[in-house]
Amino acid sequence: MRISFLLHNAYGIGGTIRTTFNLAEVLAERHDVEVVSVFRHREDPLMGPPEGVTMKHLVDLRKKSPDYDGDHADYARPARLFPRGDGRHKQYSVLTDTRIGEHLRGLQADVVIGTRPGLNVHIAREAPRGPIRIAQEHLTLDSHSYRLRREIGYRYPLLDAVTTVTESDARAYRALRLPGVRIEAVPNGVPAPAVRPADSTAQCVVAAGRLTRVKRYDVLVEAFARVVVEQPDWKLRIYGSGDATGNERDALTALIERHQLGDHVFLMGNANPLEKEWVKGSIAAVTSARESFGMTIVEAMRCGLPVVSTDCPHGPREIISDGVDGRLVPVGDVEAVANALLELMRDEDLRRRTGAAALAASERFDPARIAARHEELFTRLMAEARDNGSRSALKDAVHRGRGVLYSAAYTLRHFAGDVLRRVKGARKSAKTA
């Protein structure tokens, strides 16, 4: 089977890149797999290239490269096909529209997989009939803007399947009623760590993830301020970097200073691989307001740590069995987080039992098991395509026609809106003259 992944930027760092690489590497043991990155801005992938996988790119942003595209005239022109509702729209251009289209039209693959909505829309609009067309959702439908959700509703019917990382998000996609599109929840795969599991004796809580407001590390720091009153020997290490402004890191630093936690709470920055840091702790903590899946939860469990997590949408409840391999607490509840941490801190035997349960439960996320579920989906869709070739052709014709009408209506509406704004502006100028 020939499988092609289309990725925003395989040379950066992030959960989508990591999970794509994990899946591609396992699939490459039995299939011909490529990862096509729209952008390339450095020589080698920061997260290490997946073994056995062919790496390609479409737009070269390496300034010392003879194929540097940063000064191409079309690179400065805004994208027309990549949807404006996708949060990455400003990074896309007429050049990316052209390169992605050329790549998809010349694709020699049995399965093509997009990894973000904007790329999935490209696949729906430009991939030829033949390859199975799959959209992976690495975030959640309700996290997208209304504009993007509307585009998804119009474009995704040309796809064969959408995979989500949680069943709750799969239900949201099924509610869109995308005709003929299979919706399946397949969680992310997380490899077994190359280190021995935590032994539950270290007096350390570990948290990891970008320093952004949605992670609610302020709740964790506030909870730890209560914890150390009773358990002064325990430490909290938070791994991850923030955005370019550094606002969240500054806010957390100020909060740590206000509670005089400088000897207890540490902002550790990035660590790759993180597994060596997980096993230095005995408890993992996640205090997010929302999680599209919860990769750090599974990573911690794979290292033998019980996880105290907020019961936020969408992933934690589908990963953690409350009271068995971790604890689920209400979102934003400082006291509940503190009490759950204290319960585990007070009882080493409890930490050991829940840590062992977490380790055993996390095996269901092994990449080999997750890859097998994807393979089963690919095989089933390919068989259905062979049996329903004429219906697939009709589906393409109907929905591509619908897409053309939608694009025309969209363009006309915006043209009319622009004319109306100009008329109003002229009237206003005439009144003030």
Where exactly are the structural domains of the chain?
Answer: 2-189+369-387, 204-365
Neighbours of 422 (CB within 10 A): 10
Q: Which residues, other chains included, contact 399 with Cβ-Cβ below 8 Å and sequence gap of 6+?
A: 157, 158
What H or E segment, with its residue span, contains residue 6? strand 2-9
Interval 307-339: pLDDT, tens: 999 999 999 999 999 999 999 999 999 999 999
- Residue 203 is given by DSSP the state -
Q: Answer yes or no: CATH 3.40.50.970 is held by domain 2-189+369-387.
A: no
Residue of higher predicted confidence among 413 and 291: 291
Interval 344-374: pLDDT, tens: 999 999 999 999 999 999 999 999 999 999 9
Q: Which residues, other chains included, contact 158 with Cβ-Cβ below 8 Å and sequence gap of 6+?
A: 124, 125, 133, 395, 396, 399, 400, 403
Interval 7-45: pLDDT, tens: 999 999 888 999 999 999 999 999 999 999 999 999 999
Give the chain's radius of gyration (CA, Å): 24
The confidence score (pLDDT) of residue 407 equals 47
The confidence score (pLDDT) of residue 427 equals 64
Look over the chain and give the mean of its residue pLDDT values, rounded to a whole number.
Answer: 91
Interval 225-281: pLDDT, tens: 999 999 999 999 999 987 656 799 999 999 999 999 999 999 999 888 899 999 999
Whether residue 156 contacts residue 148, with contact meaning beta carbons closer than 8 Å, is answered with no
- Tally of residues, the chain: 433
Can you give the pTM of this predicted structure?
0.84
The reply to whether 2-189+369-387 and 204-365 are identical in fold is yes
Say if residue 3's pLDDT is above 70: yes
Residue in 373, 200, 153, 376 with CA at minimum distance from that of residue 303: 200
Secondary structure of 84-108 in the HEC alphabet? CCCCCHHHCEHHHHHHHHHHHHCCC
The Cα 349–Cα 343 span in angstroms is 11
As a 3-state breakdown, the chain gives helix, strand, coil percent values, each rounded to 5, of: 50, 20, 35
Interval 125-157: pLDDT, tens: 999 989 999 999 999 999 999 999 999 999 999
Residue the block writes with tokens 């950066």: 12
The Cα 322–Cα 328 span in angstroms is 6
CATH class of the region 204-365: alpha beta
Residue of higher predicted confidence among 419 and 79: 79
